[in-house]
């Protein structure tokens, strides 16, 4: 099981040794799920309203992106930038115009804002993909927020969320995406995904 350290200058084990006991327990739970093959997948709760690809391929693509970014030691709950970057690369490789976006995401319950944070998502010509949000409940800072991922029309976004792009920021490109996950993702797209029907 490959693990990516959140710290550039430390291995996953070195980073883990610096964590407080509660954070170590969080990582231990995620590791146990990884070994058991029971990590959450975005496809299981996806609000799927897209006209791109087909439902089976959209779900397969989201799950593959999630599996790669889940190699982060703490899972994928704080990996929205990497998730969006890798998903954008995959969509463009498949001939779909797409771009990663960074900005503010606001989440609501019964019309009241319950959480806002800097978030990343993917936009195509007419659609938005908030594909990594299902993992946010694993983030120790916001364990009570539970949202389903969404892939669909920009004008039909569920009313439990709102996105505002930060046009003053360039989207950060991540080294792990470019050097580790994208080469493997591209190979998977060419060899396996294209054969999926």
The band of 142, judged by pLDDT with boundaries at 50, 70 and 90, is confident
What is the predicted pLDDT for the residue at 138? 84
pLDDT tens-place string over residues 86-96: 999 999 999 99
| Rounded distance between C-alpha atoms, residue 175 and residue 169, angstroms | 18
What is the predicted pLDDT for the residue at 72? 87
Q: Structure pTM? A: 0.93
- Does the structure show a pLDDT above 90 at 144? no
- Does the structure show a pLDDT above 80 at 1? no
Is the Cβ–Cβ distance between 132 and 119 less than 8 Å? no
| Rounded distance between C-alpha atoms, residue 82 and residue 118, angstroms | 13
- Does the structure show a pLDDT above 90 at 159? yes
Q: What is the mean pLDDT of the chain?
A: 92
Domains of the chain are: 39-195 (3.10.550.10)
Tally Cβ neighbours within 10 Å of residue 170.
8
């Amino acid at each position: 099981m490959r693990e990516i350290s959140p710290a550039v200058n430390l291995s996953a084990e070195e980073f883990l040794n610096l964590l407080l006991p509660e954070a170590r327990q969080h990582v231990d739970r995620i590791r146990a799920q990884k070994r058991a093959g029971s990590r959450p997948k975005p496809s299981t709760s996806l609000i799927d309203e897209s006209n791109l690809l087909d439902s089976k391929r959209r779900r397969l693509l989201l799950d593959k992106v999630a599996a790669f970014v889940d190699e982060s030691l703490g899972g994928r709950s704080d990996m929205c930038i990497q998730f969006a970057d890798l998903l954008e690369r995959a969509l463009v490789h498949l001939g779909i115009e797409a771009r990663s976006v960074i900005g503010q995401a606001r989440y609501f319950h019964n019309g009241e804002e319950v959480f806002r944070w800097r978030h990343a998502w993917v936009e195509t010509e007419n659609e938005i993909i908030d594909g990594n949000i299902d993992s946010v409940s694993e983030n120790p800072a916001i364990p009570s927020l539970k949202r389903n991922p969404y892939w669909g029309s920009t004008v039909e976004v569920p009313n439990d969320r709102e996105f505002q792009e930060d046009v003053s920021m360039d989207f950060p490109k991540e080294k792990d995406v470019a050097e580790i996950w994208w080469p493997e993702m591209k190979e998977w797209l060419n060899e396996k995904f294209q054969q999926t029907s």
